[in-house]
């Protein structure tokens, strides 16, 4: 919506609405996860779905991620369209073989004789002192390994459209929702993610980044929570006459290189902001794509991410390592002539 008209919804509501619609339309869609039935998802990812669809289609599962996510792979190969939830992305290590050696590779290893139409939903992100085993985004970890489409919505509007596309997609999609954006009662979201959301279904194709704010002086490439932190920084800098363009990647695989390049050609300055670990990840990828495609476009570049340490617990420590809008502001200023 180009303005705030229409029904406002939280990100979780929008996401759940897409799931419900697809489930109504297609009996082959079902949802498996821990605490997704009676609880409605620890982060509201299935809120209200049990009432409409019952325990058969909104399935609580044993705390056996390898077994039930692998079962989703098997059901998907049999032609169903399961959605499996990994409660926190930080738990990927207990089921990664199913995710990357089976779900992600079976299509290729079979010469596309077989496909795996499933969605893995998973909660990501920090900012609430959940420490090293419950606060990561792992964006780079998933985007690095081929065979998975990787989706990271930042608004309710995007969350719904991307979820419709994810469920309809014939390939495995990893759908990473940031806890801080969901609009959960006990974890207040910033203002941005709650947007106008049409009631009818719509899709947002993968690989189309979204320019969340247009600007002429510097390009900020980011995703998830940090879209909103970047917009905050941009609003502050506008007062100082620095005109910031904020690109929300929305999907990491596929990556919308074209939109990034176009923006950088305009601004000549690039700040990449990521909530994942700094090295061997997203910031390096975006910068390299630009340098490779347009060796002379960049006059200044900054990368901002978790400084290669696990996520600490205490607030001053966590605040130190997760970039906030002040950090983004500083990074942007550094790129200015």
Ligand X SMILES: Cc1ncc(C[n+]2csc(CCOP(=O)(O)OP(=O)(O)O)c2C)c(N)n1
Where in the sequence numbering do the catalytic residues fall? 134
In this structure, what DSSP letter does residue 98 have?
Answer: I
Helix, strand, coil share of the chain (percent; to 5)? 40, 20, 40
Distance of closest approach, residue 65 Cβ to ligand X, in angstroms = 6
Residue 141 binds to another protein (criterion: CB under 8 A) = no
Choices 32-40, 207-215, 219-227, 301-309; region in contact with its own copies by CB under 8 A? 301-309
Residues 135-154 that bind its own copies (CB under 8 A): 140-141, 143-147
Stretch (H or E) spanning 212: strand 210-213
- Rounded to whole angstroms, the Cα distance separating 138 from 142 reads 7
Residue span 70-109 as binding mask against its own copies, x where in contact by CB under 8 A, dash where not: --------------------xxxxxxxxxxxx--xx--xx
In 3D space, the residue among 207, 305, 209, 206 whose CA is nearest the CA of residue 249 turns out to be 209
Residue span 44-83 as binding mask against another protein, x where in contact by CB under 8 A, dash where not: ------------x---xxxxx-xxxxxxxxxxxxxxx-x-
Residue 132 binds to ligand X (criterion: CB under 6 A) = no
CA distances from 240 to 114, 230, 264, 301, 332 (A): 55, 15, 21, 20, 12
Distance of closest approach, residue 337 Cβ to another protein, in angstroms = 28
Residue 235 binds to its own copies (criterion: CB under 8 A) = no
Q: What tokens does 271 get?
A: 């700040």
Residue 279: left if φ>0, alpha if ψ -120 to 50, beta else—which one? beta
Q: Is the distance from CB of 116 to CB of 172 less than 8 angstroms?
A: yes
Q: Which does 190 bind (CB under 5 to 8 A by kind): another protein, its own copies, ligand X, none?
A: none
Q: Is the distance from CB of 244 to CB of 215 less than 8 angstroms?
A: yes
Instruction: Give the angle subtended at the CA of 7 by the CAs of 29 and 23, to the nearest 5°.
Output: 10
Residue 28 or 257: the one with the smaller Cβ distance to its own copies is 257
- Rounded to whole angstroms, the Cα distance separating 140 from 288 reads 14
Residue 150 or 156: the one with the smaller Cβ distance to its own copies is 150
Residue 225 binds to ligand X (criterion: CB under 6 A) = no
Distance of closest approach, residue 323 Cβ to its own copies, in angstroms = 16
CA distances from 37 to 53, 88, 167 (A): 10, 17, 19
Residues 27-46 that bind ligand X (CB under 6 A): 34
Q: Which does 79 bind (CB under 5 to 8 A by kind): its own copies, ligand X, another protein, none?
A: another protein
Residue 258 binds to its own copies (criterion: CB under 8 A) = no
Residue 195 binds to another protein (criterion: CB under 8 A) = yes
Residues 54-113 that bind ligand X (CB under 6 A): 63, 65, 87, 91, 94
State the residues that interact with its own copies by CB under 8 A: 66, 90-101, 104-105, 108-109, 131-133, 140-141, 143-147, 252-253, 255, 277, 279-285, 287-289, 291-292, 295, 298-303, 308-310, 312
């Amino acid at each position: 919506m180009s303005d705030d008209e229409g029904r406002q919804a939280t990100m979780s509501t929008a996401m759940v609405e897409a799931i419900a619609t697809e489930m109504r339309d297609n009996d082959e869609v079902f949802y498996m996860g821990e605490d997704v039935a009676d609880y409605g998802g620890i982060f509201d990812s299935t809120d209200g779905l049990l009432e409409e669809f019952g325990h058969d289609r909104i399935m609580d599962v044993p705390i056996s991620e390898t077994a039930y996510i692998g079962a989703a792979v098997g059901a998907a190969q049999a032609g169903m369209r399961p959605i499996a939830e990994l409660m926190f992305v930080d738990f990927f290590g207990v089921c990664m073989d199913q995710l990357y050696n089976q779900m992600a590779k079976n299509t290729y290893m079979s010469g596309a004789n077989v496909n795996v139409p499933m969605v893995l939903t998973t909660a990501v992100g920090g900012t609430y002192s959940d420490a090293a085993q419950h606060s990561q985004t792992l964006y780079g970890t998933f985007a690095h390994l081929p065979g998975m489409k990787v989706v990271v919505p930042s608004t309710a509007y995007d969350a719904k459209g991307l979820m419709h596309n994810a469920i309809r997609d014939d390939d495995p999609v990893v759908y990473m929702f940031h806890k801080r954006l969901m609009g959960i009662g006990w974890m207040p979201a910033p203002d941005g993610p709650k947007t106008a959301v049409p009631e009818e279904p719509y899709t947002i194709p993968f690989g189309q980044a979204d320019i969340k704010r247009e600007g002429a002086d510097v390009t900020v490439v980011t995703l998830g929570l940090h879209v909103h932190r970047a917009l905050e920084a941009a609003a502050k800098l506008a007062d100082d006459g620095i005109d910031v363009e904020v690109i929300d990647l929305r999907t990491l695989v596929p990556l919308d290189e074209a939109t990034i390049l176009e923006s950088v050609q305009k601004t000549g300055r690039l700040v990449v902001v990521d909530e994942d670990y700094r090295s061997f990840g997203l910031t390096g990828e975006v910068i390299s794509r630009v340098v490779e495609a347009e060796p002379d476009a960049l006059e200044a570049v900054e990368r901002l991410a978790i400084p290669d340490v696990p996520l600490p617990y205490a607030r001053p420590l966590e605040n130190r390592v997760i970039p906030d809008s002040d950090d983004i502001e500083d990074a942007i200023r550094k790129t200015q002539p």
